[in-house]
Amino acid sequence: MKKVFIFLFVVTFIIPLRAQNKDACLWLGLNIEKNITRSFIFNISQEVRMNENISELGSFLTDAGFTYKINKLFKISANYRFINKRQIDDFYSKRHRYYFDLTFRKKFDPFILQFRTRFQSQYENIYSSDNGFIPSNYSRNKLTLKLDLDKKFAPYVNTEIYIPLNKKDNLIYIDNTRFSSGVEYEINRVHSFDIFYMIQKEFNVSNPKTEFITGINYTLHF
């Protein structure tokens, strides 16, 4: 266990400090899920994201939405996110995001394969910018492979790509990727944790940034 903590310290703090425009981040999340019916779930979450080598509060995120299980293979969801994101001048910009997911999940013992496609639309600084009412639209696609060891532990790896949909040049390209590995730990049917390490990298933008992110999410399900 000691070696694990040393490894996480090195990849989170030491490696990012060696290169320019790289950052170590910490994401902490609290999720609450409520079954309205067996197929219909309401969820609300709060997340804090720290950046600048985990020295500053970078973002506050609040999500609320619904998920509907169509059958054993597919589910759909609709969510709203309110974002307070810190800028260089210590000003926090307010952003409103709407996103809609279609998720496919299939079990191949002992693995679980999951693919999620998402459309998201985000508005930034609606009342303080001339472009505030022009949304930034993205297609996000995420592939996850999970190892179903037992009812409590489930290690996984995943990758996600971001594709902008309404840039001025009208070209289709990837401008952000995420690569993650982690483990889900279910204490019981009510309490669970998700602990992960993620590398997020920008592409096709000026001065691209790479972030090394450690994340801890707690979920209360009832």
Q: Which residues does 123 contact at the CB level (< 8 Å), separation at least 6?
A: 95, 96, 97, 132, 133, 134, 135, 136
Q: What does the pLDDT read at residue 5?
A: 42
Residue 26 contacts residue 55 (beta carbons within 8 Å)? no
Domains of the chain: 2-36+66-84+96-221 (2.40.160)
Q: What does the pLDDT read at residue 4?
A: 40
Q: Which residues does 130 contact at the CB level (< 8 Å), separation at least 6?
A: none
The DSSP bridge partners found for residue 87 are none
Positions in the chain whose pLDDT score sits under 50: 1-9, 11-13, 15-19
Q: What does the pLDDT read at residue 218?
A: 98
User: How is 116-137 classified by DSSP, letter by letter?
Assistant: EEEEEEEEE-TTTSTTTTS-EE
Selection from 146, 149, 220, 208 nearest residue 180 by Cα: 146
Q: What does the pLDDT read at residue 19?
A: 47
Global pTM reads 0.87
Q: How do residues 161-214 score in pLDDT, each as one tens digit?
A: 999 998 777 778 899 999 999 999 999 999 999 999 999 999 888 889 999 999
Euclidean distance between CA atoms 140 and 157, whole angstroms: 17
